[in-house]
Structure 1
């Protein structure tokens, strides 16, 4: 039976949930803007880094250039266009150490429940955050095990910087016949190098075609495996320069390293947005350019068969291949891409619907993520569960009717960090505004039927489509609109009115009391 230890002697000014890029970035702003605050970071992982601690499969790397994916205030110290997982984790630890808040990060701490207390005679309204310690990765190690210890932390503000997927397990579909397979079946998210050992000569089939599969194939081929990527549908893959020429040019022209990093970051963001506009407005131009680069390694027949999706570029994320590594692995290392459908797993490997058998010692399911907003924590107000699917995101940062609760969700079509930092800067503006006016509580109020509602994450990726029913919605106009466009969102988040459709103090608490719950309490927000 779990035990509980409730903290009652003080209330934090801020609790940040998640010690990945978003959490570290926000903490940097808190250190500089609110030096007198009492705050803390908790993270369910056994090290900082978020994604870059969770994923340890071969070749794990960013899918955005490091000029824009790196923190805007700390230059990326390596030369590669993309960053590998270990370097990103070390970089984030260095950033926390330089800002002096490493000791504020509490690891192995999972947030189980977040309850808003609307009335407290001593402390006033606040969040009670129930955490569980001594938790490790894995679906069999959930934090409700008998020996866990629950702690309740009080905080005036809570920021959820824990991303939007489940760190415990990815999406693992059932394959017919998988019990008959005599080799190893492992999801990419559960790959541990120390357990897998040397892959030299091992026959490996990767099932999937997204960023994980595109990363795994060249990395495993380089390690000596006989690797095949089995995909049902091709993915758009862009060959990038292996080294960041834009950042190199600006570092040459601007001696100050931080200034050069900022200029290069703006350059990369602008270039990425222009490319996205081209892809959406003239997809044949964008796809033609991608295919022209692929011709350096592949035949036209290979490109048509294995690298020409049935959808337009950026309907789903375009994967990146530094130095064209996936294409080079196919041309020079014997790696294969097979576009086909699976019939079933058989003892010797994967049988396709045409009867072909791909022999395998190991099958890696690179089949995607499990969407999980807010780290899987239950949200309640005065103990009543809140139905998040009936709430609406405000500027993609706050949640209608939930006072002093914010979250980070990055862009799906460009660097996560660009929006994480925009979010942090918006929150700093809001908090300064409140401090200056003597206000302690703020909550957005959704206007109702006059604003249309639509999914928060409008993207065709499978893991997003599978789980849209569990997330807040977004509106069809500002400030309820979450745009996948940095250049259009920057003016609103950096300069926009902080009071539009927001209420403060007693009015904000009243809005929280009127929230619809899972049990169907009052209908403050219409259901979809």
Structure 2
């Protein structure tokens, strides 16, 4: 296992933050495109996998198909397309082994601050040892920092203040901190929420619980998809793993784009189709207009996927149910709604979302002057204006996260190649005057809205846009210019008298 010496013996060419799906992807591209460069990966926890290792709640799985959520360079060969977390973790560990990344990952190390030295053309990164009882920190120098930290706060999820929660006699659990020994067999469970976590938990818990109720304030669009993609599996069988995977990936990229565009362009027919699909899978007397009729259009927020319609099956079976209403207060026995109804529970799960946090909450400064990230603007969705030698990995919100990670890693490696060939030691994006801006993540989810004032911005035209389409990013990243009027390449300052 690597020690701190690989971080401190000499300045690194690249410091990768995070050993989740983004960081592992960056590691692959650095190994293959720049094998001579030194790099290390900081992982704040004691295991790889990021989200897929952190979350341990029942049934945790992808909500994107793995033919697109997987890496372009590594075929997904498991028959499950909507796959559970253990399978995804196995895949990520295989990717690490394939590229021999084990010797680059340092566990229990978290970057808490970084300061750019213009004179040295280096980032000085303050790293905390998370496995130390003291507030133990040390400095790491790196020419580049690649932030593969995602955008969630991995320390705590979002839980609203529920009146009377102290009165509840049972257990209150947040999915982000699921107790390994939680026993819900034969118990009444309420899952508060209507997003991806809630629609995963309800069908997963209903087999052992006495009954599971999904309590939602607002309905969500929920669509059934086959857990196994029969067409993709057939293509891999006939064409082989590599060619079959590549074709399946393109097929599903097109499918995702078509569905998203149709929902955006024709919201009323899209809503009608989703409603008809839901109705066919639910009991005849089910109040679909109360529980599956969101007040917004399809894909204004992310659609929830349920593999093989498992949520609908649980409702039809009677082992699960949905209640829609606002919480007035927790009671000793459960939850009382504003309309007077009381729902009894032994366990309440607050699947109420996550907190958004860029770069693990790391403080950023330039020559000792603090940077307000909310005043920066994203360039090609991977750099921030004014920050030298810094790349961030933020995937798609309306498609598979990983599709974008590969494209931005390609662009990142092309920039490194250009710097090496021309003797440049740094590059930064320079925002043009009068650039019209909009929110970085133009998405209606609650966790995004709560954090908009703290996030960088994006522009309204390329290359200052945070595109959410593979076809756009192929132009902007894979084929995008690495030399343009907005990129300021610099060479190390020459010392006086030299």
TM range (shorter): over 0.9
CA offsets 1:468-520 (integer angstroms, 9 cap, x no match)? 111111111111011111112211111111112101115999xxxxxxxxxxx
SS in 1 for 2:137: strand
Q: Does 2:90 match 1:90?
A: yes
SS in 2 for 1:426: helix
Aligned counterparts, 1:235-246, within 5 A:
235-246=220-231
| Residue 253 of structure 1, CA deviation | 3.2
Aligned to 2:270: 286
Q: For the Cα contact (< 8 Å) 2:184–2:347, is it kept in 1?
A: no
Aligned to 1:405: 390
SS in 2 for 1:370: strand
SS in 2 for 1:195: coil
- Greater mean alpha carbon deviation, residues 466-475 or residues 126-135: 126-135
SS in 1 for 2:48: coil
Q: Does 2:205 match 1:220?
A: yes
Aligned to 1:172: 159
| Residue 259 of structure 1, CA deviation | 1.6
Aligned counterparts, 1:252-267, within 5 A:
252-254=237-239, 256-267=240-251
SS in 2 for 1:443: strand
Would the alpha carbon gap of residues 507 and 496 (structure 1) be closer, same or farther in structure 2, given more than 3 Å must change? Answer: farther
Given candidates 171, 174, 180, the residue that maps to 1:184 is 171
Aligned counterparts, 1:318-329, within 5 A:
318-329=303-314
Aligned counterparts, 1:339-488, within 5 A:
339-449=324-434, 451-488=435-472
Q: Does 2:145 match 1:158?
A: yes
CA offsets 1:439-466 (integer angstroms, 9 cap, x no match)? 12110000121x1011101111000000
Aligned to 1:127: 123
SS in 2 for 1:482: coil
CA distance in 2, matches of 1:102, 1:245: 34
SS in 2 for 1:460: coil
| Residue 6 of structure 1, CA deviation | 12
Would the alpha carbon gap of residues 497 and 508 (structure 1) be closer, same or farther in structure 2, given more than 3 Å must change? Answer: farther
Q: For the Cα contact (< 8 Å) 2:424–2:492, is it kept in 1?
A: no
CA distance in 1, matches of 2:142, 2:244: 38
CA offsets 1:24-78 (integer angstroms, 9 cap, x no match)? 1111111111111111001112210011111111111111001100111112232
CA distance in 1, matches of 2:451, 2:44: 22
CA distance in 1, matches of 2:7, 2:237: 53
Would the alpha carbon gap of residues 92 and 44 (structure 1) be closer, same or farther in structure 2, given more than 3 Å must change? Answer: same
Instruction: Provide TM-score, normalisation by structure 1.
Output: 0.90
CA distance in 2, matches of 1:217, 1:443: 47
Q: For the Cα contact (< 8 Å) 2:121–2:425, is it kept in 1?
A: no
Q: Does 2:85 match 1:101?
A: no
CA distance in 1, matches of 2:116, 2:243: 42
| Residue 309 of structure 1, CA deviation | 0.3
CA distance in 2, matches of 1:28, 1:404: 19
Aligned counterparts, 1:64-83, within 5 A:
64-83=64-83
CA distance in 2, matches of 1:302, 1:79: 35
| Residue 435 of structure 1, CA deviation | 1.5
CA offsets 1:349-407 (integer angstroms, 9 cap, x no match)? 00111211111111111111101001110001122210111111101100101110010
Indicate the RMSD between aligned Cα atoms, in angstroms. Answer: 1.9
Unmatched 5+ stretches in structure 1:
136-144, 510-528
| Residue 5 of structure 1, CA deviation | 10
| Residue 223 of structure 1, CA deviation | 3.1
Would the alpha carbon gap of residues 421 and 203 (structure 1) be closer, same or farther in structure 2, given more than 3 Å must change? Answer: same
Aligned counterparts, 1:482-521, within 5 A:
482-500=466-484, 501-506=486-491
| Residue 173 of structure 1, CA deviation | 0.8
- Greater mean alpha carbon deviation, residues 498-507 or residues 367-376: 498-507
CA distance in 1, matches of 2:492, 2:335: 60
CA distance in 2, matches of 1:407, 1:473: 14
Aligned to 1:522: none
CA distance in 1, matches of 2:408, 2:266: 30
Aligned counterparts, 1:291-302, within 5 A:
291-298=275-282, 299=284, 301-302=286-287
SS in 2 for 1:481: coil
Q: Does 2:17 match 1:32?
A: no
Unmatched 5+ stretches in structure 2:
none
Aligned to 2:235: 250
SS in 2 for 1:222: coil
Aligned to 1:512: none
CA distance in 1, matches of 2:247, 2:6: 47
